[in-house]
C-alpha cells in the first residue's frame, strides 16, 4: 500500500505527526481494548458462550442497544429543532440557551441520574402527573430512554450547529422560487445537506448512550430481565470477582458497537460523497 | 409578461433600503438595476420575486395587470438566479435542472420522459448537455451559473430575475457570459430584470437601465440616454470615468478651473455654486494654446498600457483630473511626467448647486 499525502502542507512533519497519532491511539484506545479482548480470550469458549447467551445478559443487550437507539433518534429530531432555532433566529437569551445545551456534558452523571429520578419518580414533580395517566416514567424502560436522551442531547446539537450555519439560506429561497413546498424544501434540499452532520450527532449520542452508566442506574430500577442495562451487569460481575464474565459481556458490546458505528460511518460517507 | 411595481418602500430597522420606488418593465424587455452596494437594487429585485415583503402601505406589484403582492414566491412563477448560484450540491446537474419540474403536484407534473427531454433541451440551450451527470462542485463558476439559469428556466417562468448573475466570476468569463446572456434573451425573449453594480454590464446588456442610489431611482432610460444625458450628478458620477470641478454660475457663464464658458441656460443674475463634469475622453490635450478656451495643467502620471493613454494631471488651479488620448495622439504630443499641457474641454455637463 502506498502512503499518499492528500495535500501538501506548508508545515512539514507527516512522519512525526503520523508517529504520534499511531502511538497515542495505541496507548489510549487500542491497548486497553486489546487487554480486554486478551482477558476474555483466557475464558474457555463454552463458558464465554454461556455467559453471553444467558437470557439475563441478552435482555440487557436488547435494552442497552434499543434504548440508546431510541434516545439517539429522539435527540436527532428534537436536537435538530434546537440547533435550528439557535442558528437561524436571534432572540433575547439565545446565548444563555446556547450555554445550557452543554450542561449534560458538564454535570456528573450521577447527579443528573438522581435529579431525573427525583423528577420522574411516582412522587416527583413530573411523576406525580404521569403515574395517574398510566405512564410510569421512573423504574422502567422509559426511564432508561429518558436518561439516555438527556445525556445524548448535546452531541446532536453541537454537531448540527456548524452544519446549519454552513447551509446557505439562499438554497431554501431557490427551492421556494422553483415552486417547492415547505416539506419538499426540507426533505429534498435541507435534509440532504445536513445529513452527514446529523448522522455524526446520532452516532455520538448513540455511542454515549451505550456506555452510560451513572445516570441510568438511578432511574432504571435495575430489575433483572427488565430494566437492567449491560454496563450494570458488567459492574455486577466485577463486584462478584467474575472478571472473565465481565470481559465477555464487554467484548460482545464492543464488537456490536464497533460494527454499528462503522455502519453509520459508511452511511455518512455515502451521504457526504458530493459535498465539498 | 409585464411588471409594474408602485410606491414600494422597505426599511430594515432604521435603514431605509427603498424609498417610494416605482418601476415598470415591458413584456420581453431586459432591464438592469444599476447602483452601488447599499442602493437597494437587490432588495427591489427580491421584492419583485416575493423573497422579501415590502413595508406596509406600499403599492401593488403587478405581473401583467394582476396584483401578486399577496402571492408568495412559489406562486409568482418567477425564475430567480442567485449571485452565488445556490445550486443543490447533492444533486447532479440534471437533477438540479429537473428540480422545479419534479416538485410540482402530481397532477401538473410532466412524465419522466417529458422531464428528461425538457432538461436535456435546456442543458443544450445553456451548452452544458455534456455535463448532465456531473455534480456542482465539479463545475467552474461560469458553468454553475449557466446551470442555475437553466434550472430557473425549466419552470417556464413568466419573469426572469437575476441578482448580480456574474458578480462572482472573473472578468474574462463575465464578458463571455454577458454576450451569451444577451443572445439567449434574444432567443427566448422572457421579461428579465437583473441587478448589477458593474456599469459596463448594465450598459452593454440592458434595453433599459435604472440607476439607483440610496433607496431611490435616480434615472431610468436606455443605456445611451443615461450615459450621454445624465439627469443628476450621481448618474454622471457613477457612469464611467469623470472629472469633477467645483465652479460657479454667473450671468450666463460658468466659471471653473480658471476657465469661463458661456452657459446660456443660466440667466439668473445671482451667482450660484455649480458642479462641472468633464469626461476624460472629452478633454482635448495640447502642448500649446491653440485658440480654444483651455487651462494649463501639469502631467503627474501616465498610464500607457491599454487601447488609450490616460494622463493624470494637476490643473493650475489645483484640481487633479484625468484625460484620455489615443496612443497615436500621445506619441504626437510627446509629453511625459512633469510636462506642461493645455486642456480644452470638448463637452461639459453643469449641475447647479452644491456637490451631491
Q: pLDDT, tens digit, for every residue of B300-320? A: 999 989 899 999 999 988 889
B111 touches chain A (CB under 8 A): no
Query: Three cell numbers at A259?
Result: 460494527
Q: Which residues does residue B63 pair with via DSSP β-bridges, in sequence order?
A: B3, B66
In CATH terms, A43-275 corresponds, of 3.30.470.10, 1.10.357.10, 1.20.1090.10, 1.10.3720.10, to 1.10.3720.10
Poorest-confidence range of A126-140, A186-200, B44-58, B317-331? Answer: A126-140
Please compute the mean of the pLDDT values over residues B69-95 and round it to a whole number. Answer: 91
User: Would you state the pLDDT for residue A1?
Assistant: 46
Query: Three cell numbers at B349?
Result: 455637463
Please compute the mean of the pLDDT values over residues B175-202 and round it to a whole number. Answer: 89
Residue A168, pLDDT > 70, answer yes
Query: Three cell numbers at B138?
Result: 465539479
Are the Cβ atoms of B90 and A192 closer than 8 angstroms?
yes
User: Would you state the pLDDT for residue A6?
Assistant: 62
Enclosing H/E stretch for B333: helix B327-333
Q: pLDDT, tens digit, for every residue of A83-116? A: 999 999 989 999 999 999 998 888 898 899 999 9
Position of cell 471653473? B256
pLDDT class of A2 with cuts at 50, 70, 90: low
Poorest-confidence range of A36-40, B47-51, B278-282? Answer: A36-40
Q: Are strands B253-256 and B259-262 parallel, antiparallel or unpaired?
A: antiparallel
B103 touches chain A (CB under 8 A): yes
pLDDT class of B261 with cuts at 50, 70, 90: confident
User: Would you state the pLDDT for residue A147?
Assistant: 92
Query: Three cell numbers at A154?
Result: 448535546
Q: pLDDT, tens digit, for every residue of B99-149? A: 999 999 988 899 999 999 999 999 998 889 999 999 999 999 889 999 999
pLDDT class of A19 with cuts at 50, 70, 90: very high
DSSP letter string over chain A? -----SS--SS--HHHHHHHHHHHHIIIIIHHHHHHHHHHHTS-HHHHHHHHH-HHHHHHHHHHHHHHHHHHHHHHHHHHHHHHHHHH---TTHHHHHHHTTHHHHS-HHHHHHHHHHHHSTTSTTHHHHGGGT---TTSHHHHHHHHHHHHHHHHHHHHHHHHHHS-HHHHHHHHHTT--HHHIIIIIIHHHHHHHHHHHHHHHHHHHHH--HHHHHHH---TTTT--HHHHHHHHHHTT-HHHHHHHHHHHHHHHHHHHHHHHHHHHHHTTT--
Q: pLDDT, tens digit, for every residue of A220-262? A: 888 888 888 999 999 999 999 988 888 889 888 888 888 888 8
A191 touches chain B (CB under 8 A): no
User: Would you state the pLDDT for residue B253?
Assistant: 83
A275 touches chain B (CB under 8 A): yes
Task: Find, in chain A, the residue whose alpha carbon is nearest to that of B163.
Answer: A170
Q: pLDDT, tens digit, for every residue of A123-149? A: 888 888 888 888 887 788 888 999 999
How far CA A267 is from CA of A77, A186, A276, B246, in Å, comes to 18, 20, 17, 69
Q: At what angle do helices A141-166 and A109-120 cross, to 10 degrees?
A: 120
Cβ burial, residue A214 (10 Å; 0-12/13-18/19+): middle
Domain limits, chain A: 43-275
pLDDT class of B202 with cuts at 50, 70, 90: very high
Mean pLDDT, chain A, whole residue set: 88
CA distance B292 to chain A (A): 57
Could you give the CA distance from residue B47 to residue B32 in angstroms, rounded to a whole number? 15
Q: Which spans in A89-140 are helix H?
A: 94-100, 103-106, 109-120, 127-130
Query: How many CB atoms are located within 10 Å of the residue A12 CB?
Result: 9
Query: Three cell numbers at B330?
Result: 500621445
Nearest to B88 by CA among A177, A134, A274, A254: A274
Which residues from chain B sit within 8 angstroms of residue A193, using beta carbons? 89-90
Query: Three cell numbers at B351?
Result: 449641475
pTM of the model: 0.81
Are the Cβ atoms of B74 and A176 closer than 8 angstroms?
yes
pLDDT class of A276 with cuts at 50, 70, 90: very low
Print burial letters for B87-116: b (CB count within 10 Å at least 16), e (below 16): bbbbbbbbbbbbbbbbbbeeeeeeeeeebe
Residue B349 DSSP code: E
Mean pLDDT, chain B, whole residue set: 90
User: Would you state the pLDDT for residue B240?
Assistant: 85
Residue A7, pLDDT > 70, answer no
Q: Phi then psi for B299, rounded to 5 degrees? A: -75, 125
Please compute the mean of the pLDDT values over residues B235-243 and round it to a whole number. Answer: 90
Which residues from chain A sit within 8 angstroms of residue B90, using beta carbons? 192-193, 271, 274-275
Which residues from chain B sit within 8 angstroms of residue A177, using beta carbons? 49-51, 73-74, 78-80, 152
User: Would you state the pLDDT for residue A121?
Assistant: 85
Are the Cβ atoms of B82 and A174 closer than 8 angstroms?
yes
Amino acid at each position: 500500500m502506498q502512503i499518499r499525502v492528500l495535500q501538501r502542507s506548508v508545515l512539514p512533519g507527516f512522519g512525526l505527526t503520523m508517529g504520534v497519532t499511531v502511538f497515542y491511539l495505541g496507548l489510549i484506545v487500542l491497548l486497553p481494548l486489546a487487554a480486554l479482548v486478551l482477558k476474555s480470550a483466557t475464558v474457555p469458549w463454552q463458558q464465554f458462550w454461556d455467559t453471553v447467551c444467558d437470557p439475563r445478559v441478552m435482555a440487557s443487550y436488547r435494552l442497552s442497544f434499543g434504548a440508546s437507539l431510541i434516545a439517539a433518534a429522539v435527540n436527532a429530531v428534537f436536537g435538530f429543532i434546537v440547533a435550528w432555532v439557535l442558528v437561524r433566529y436571534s432572540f433575547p437569551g439565545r446565548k444563555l440557551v446556547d450555554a445550557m445545551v452543554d450542561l449534560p456534558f458538564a454535570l456528573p452523571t450521577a447527579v443528573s441520574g438522581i435529579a431525573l429520578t427525583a423528577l420522574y419518580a411516582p412522587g416527583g414533580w413530573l411523576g406525580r402527573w404521569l403515574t395517574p395517566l398510566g405512564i410510569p416514567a421512573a423504574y422502567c424502560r422509559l426511564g432508561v430512554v429518558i436518561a439516555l436522551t438527556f445525556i445524548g442531547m448535546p452531541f446532536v446539537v453541537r454537531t448540527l450547529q456548524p452544519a446549519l450555519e454552513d447551509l446557505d439560506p439562499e438554497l431554501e429561497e431557490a427551492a421556494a422560487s422553483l415552486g417547492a413546498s415547505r416539506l419538499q424544501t426540507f426533505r429534498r434540499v435541507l435534509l440532504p445537506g445536513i445529513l452527514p452532520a446529523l448522522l455524526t450527532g446520532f452516532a455520538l449520542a448513540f455511542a454515549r448512550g451505550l456506555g452510560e452508566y451513572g445516570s441510568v442506574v438511578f432511574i432504571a430500577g435495575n430489575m433483572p430481565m427488565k430494566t437492567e442495562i449491560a454496563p450494570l451487569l458488567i459492574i455486577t460481575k466485577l463486584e462478584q470477582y467474575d472478571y472473565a464474565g465481565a470481559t465477555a459481556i464487554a467484548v460482545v458490546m464492543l464488537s456490536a458497537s464497533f460494527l454499528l458505528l462503522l455502519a453509520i460511518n459508511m452511511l455518512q460517507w455515502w451521504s457526504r460523497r458530493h459535498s465539498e | 409578461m409585464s411588471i409594474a411595481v408602485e410606491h414600494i418602500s422597505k426599511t430594515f430597522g432604521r435603514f431605509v433600503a427603498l424609498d417610494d420606488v416605482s418601476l415598470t418593465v415591458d413584456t420581453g424587455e431586459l432591464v438592469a438595476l444599476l447602483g452601488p452596494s447599499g442602493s437597494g437594487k437587490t432588495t427591489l429585485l427580491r421584492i419583485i420575486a416575493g423573497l422579501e415583503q415590502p413595508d406596509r402601505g406600499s403599492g401593488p406589484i403587478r405581473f401583467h395587470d394582476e396584483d401578486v403582492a399577496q402571492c408568495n414566491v412559489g406562486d409568482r412563477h418567477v425564475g430567480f438566479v442567485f449571485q452565488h448560484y445556490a445550486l443543490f450540491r447533492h444533486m447532479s446537474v440534471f437533477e438540479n435542472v429537473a428540480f422545479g419540474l419534479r416538485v410540482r403536484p402530481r397532477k401538473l407534473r410532466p412524465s419522466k420522459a417529458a422531464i428528461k427531454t425538457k432538461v436535456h433541451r435546456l442543458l443544450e440551450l445553456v451548452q452544458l448537455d455534456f455535463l448532465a451527470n456531473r455534480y456542482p462542485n465539479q463545475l467552474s463558476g461560469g458553468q454553475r451559473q449557466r446551470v442555475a439559469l437553466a434550472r430557473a428556466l425549466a419552470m417556464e417562468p413568466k419573469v426572469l430575475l437575476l441578482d448580480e448573475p456574474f458578480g462572482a466570476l472573473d472578468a474574462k468569463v463575465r464578458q463571455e457570459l454577458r454576450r451569451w446572456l444577451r443572445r439567449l434573451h434574444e432567443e427566448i425573449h422572457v421579461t428579465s430584470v437583473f441587478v448589477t453594480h458593474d456599469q459596463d454590464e448594465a450598459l452593454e446588456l440592458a434595453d433599459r437601465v435604472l440607476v439607483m442610489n440610496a433607496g431611490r431611482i435616480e434615472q431610468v432610460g436606455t443605456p445611451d440616454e443615461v450615459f450621454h444625458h445624465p439627469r443628476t450628478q450621481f448618474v454622471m458620477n457613477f457612469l464611467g470615468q469623470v472629472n469633477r470641478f467645483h465652479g460657479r454660475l454667473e450671468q450666463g457663464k460658468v466659471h471653473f478651473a480658471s476657465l469661463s464658458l458661456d452657459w446660456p441656460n443660466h440667466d439668473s443674475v445671482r451667482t450660484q455654486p455649480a458642479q462641472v463634469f468633464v469626461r476624460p475622453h472629452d478633454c482635448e490635450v495640447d502642448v500649446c494654446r491653440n485658440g480654444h478656451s483651455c487651462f494649463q495643467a501639469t502631467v503627474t502620471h501616465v498610464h500607457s498600457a491599454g487601447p488609450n493613454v490616460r494622463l493624470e494631471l494637476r490643473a493650475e488651479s489645483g484640481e487633479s483630473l484625468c484625460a484620455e488620448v489615443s496612443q497615436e495622439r500621445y506619441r504626437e504630443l510627446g509629453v511625459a511626467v512633469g510636462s506642461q499641457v493645455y486642456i480644452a474641454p470638448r463637452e461639459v455637463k453643469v449641475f447647479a448647486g452644491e456637490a451631491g
